[in-house]
Amino acid sequence: MTDSYDLVVIGSGPGGYIAAIRAAQLGMKVACVEKYVRLGGTCLNVGCIPSKALLQSSEKFEEANHTLAAHGVKVSGVTLDLDTLLARKDKVVTDITKGVEFLFRKNKITWVQGTGKILAAGKVEVALTAGGSQTIETKNILIATGSEVMPLPGVEVDEKQIVSSTGAIAIPKVPKHLVVIGGGYIGLELGSVWRRLGAEVTVVEFLDRITPGLDLEVGKQLNRQLSKQGIQFKLSTKVTGAKKTKAGVTLTLEPAAGGPKEELKADVVLVSIGRRPYTEGLGLAEAGVVLDDKKRVKVDGHFQTNVPGIYAIGDVIAGPMLAHKAEEEGVVFAEILAGQKPHLNYDAIPAVVYTWPEVASVGKTEEEVKASGVEYKVGKFPFTANGRAKANGDTEGFVKFIADAKTDRVLGCHIIGPDAGTMIAECALAMEYGASSEDIGRTCHAHPTLNEAVKEAALAVSGMALNM
């Protein structure tokens, strides 16, 4: 049987499903090929959403155990019902992925359930989940197949004793000792979840710092805060092997620069050393689609591959592997296809680490600005001097602005503190409009809010902070 479409999207993650919806809104006949049992991709099924559900629940457990008493709220006999906690997370995932199914129906997008393979420009063959195959004809193909967990040689994931992030959101019993390999945001978020639920957590990181993409000062502060909470860090250390027994896993560690080996025992090991683009079985080589040196699909500024009519967006192409980056690319791609002239500003894409305190940033780090040779000024404001943070009892961290010394244009903003992920939105908006730090500092912010720390840090760029 052959069907014909304007656009066939392969993959229904935040890149693919958003592109499909925008294209349908613009009048195109759209199908989306997805092989997983649910729509929504990594983000909704095993990524952003379930990890945030677990962070939220574990935060509540931590509050009940440790911080509510300081507010005069006395609770006793706090116990953990892990089954309920995990079931709640699963329900959140089911509900939100059903929401995408609803949006597909609303926008008349056909979900073709199965694995897509590009036969040539204009032709996608789907090995149907229900059995058999279907060939779809289409004017345009969008590859939105995302990414997969990067494997670590010698430490094979079995999703029981040695887990990837997918296994780490479903561990059925709180491990006594969880070793996280990799100090990136996924490892730190999931490490925080299990530490709050009672595990001893050790993070082993090859580099001499955690969260390598972050502003160094902010990264160091996060390291200090997480250490204070009890997470142990072994930096400049590599894992070279893993031995499994019934009792657990014994890892072999070595200094990153070489040296004597040591052993580290764990009940569960989480491998989270990064993600790599996922293009397996897509037929890209046969279709003549070129990849770059990191095996990502190579595209031009309009998301077009080297083969006319075949496009790609999201984690499978270059750029930060973030859901909102994939979504924006999905919108921009669909609008370009419809003949519009949209623009995506890659300099104003925020990034958030949902630990506590949270870390959020947009624009350049101080190290990047320094390396670029541009003269710059820094303005900082601590949450200890913010009234709302004091009232809330969450005063850890600060806001840091980096602005061009000559023009005052904001080049970067970095926040470590309560709800940093929500606060960064105003900084991204400001950067999108090319704001100066003075523009932000002179914008009236409601009192008492955490965002007043953003205003004060912006004022601090020119030495005008008021509450410090």
Ligand X SMILES: Cc1cc2nc3c(=O)[nH]c(=O)nc-3n(C[C@H](O)[C@H](O)[C@H](O)COP(=O)(O)OP(=O)(O)OC[C@H]3O[C@@H](n4cnc5c(N)ncnc54)[C@H](O)[C@@H]3O)c2cc1C
Catalytic residue annotation: 447
Q: What is the Cα–Cα distance from 130 to 121, expressed in whole angstroms?
A: 25
Residue spans of alpha helices (H) in 268-407: 284-287, 323-337, 366-372, 387-392
Task: Identify each DSSP E strand in 383-463 by its residue range.
Answer: 398-404, 410-417
* Residue closer to ligand X, measured from CB, 413 or 459: 413
Binding site for ligand X (CB under 6 A): 10-16, 33-36, 41-43, 47-48, 51, 115-116, 144-147, 165, 186, 278, 281-282, 314-316, 321-324, 326, 354
Q: Smallest distance from the beta carbon of 296 to ligand X, in angstroms?
A: 11
Q: Concatenated DSSP letters for 93-151?
A: HHHHHHHHHHHHHHTT-EEEEEEEEEEETTEEEEEETTSSEEEEEEEEEEE---EEEPP
Q: What is the Cα–Cα distance from 423 to 454, expressed in whole angstroms?
A: 8
Question: How many angstroms separate the most distant Cα atoms in the chain?
Answer: 70
Can you read off the two tokens belonging to residue 347? Answer: 């300099």
Q: Smallest distance from the beta carbon of 428 to ligand X, in angstroms?
A: 13
**Could you tell me whether strands 268-271 and 162-163 are parallel, antiparallel, or unpaired per DSSP bridges?**
parallel
Q: Smallest distance from the beta carbon of 373 to ligand X, in angstroms?
A: 31
Q: What is the Cα–Cα distance from 342 to 335, expressed in whole angstroms?
A: 7
Q: Smallest distance from the beta carbon of 93 to ligand X, in angstroms?
A: 12
* Residue closer to ligand X, measured from CB, 8 or 155: 8
* Residue closer to ligand X, measured from CB, 147 or 436: 147
**Could you tell me whether strands 310-312 and 275-277 are parallel, antiparallel, or unpaired per DSSP bridges?**
unpaired
* Residue closer to ligand X, measured from CB, 116 or 357: 116
Can you read off the two tokens belonging to residue 277? Answer: 């683009």
| 3-class secondary structure, 327 | helix
**Could you tell me whether strands 177-181 and 398-404 are parallel, antiparallel, or unpaired per DSSP bridges?**
unpaired
Q: Smallest distance from the beta carbon of 225 to ligand X, in angstroms?
A: 19
* DSSP state letter for 468: -
**Could you tell me whether strands 133-143 and 123-128 are parallel, antiparallel, or unpaired per DSSP bridges?**
antiparallel
* Residue closer to ligand X, measured from CB, 115 or 237: 115
* Residue closer to ligand X, measured from CB, 363 or 441: 363
Q: Smallest distance from the beta carbon of 436 to ligand X, in angstroms?
A: 28
Q: Of 206, 242, 240, 205, whose CA–CA distance to 226 is shortest?
A: 205
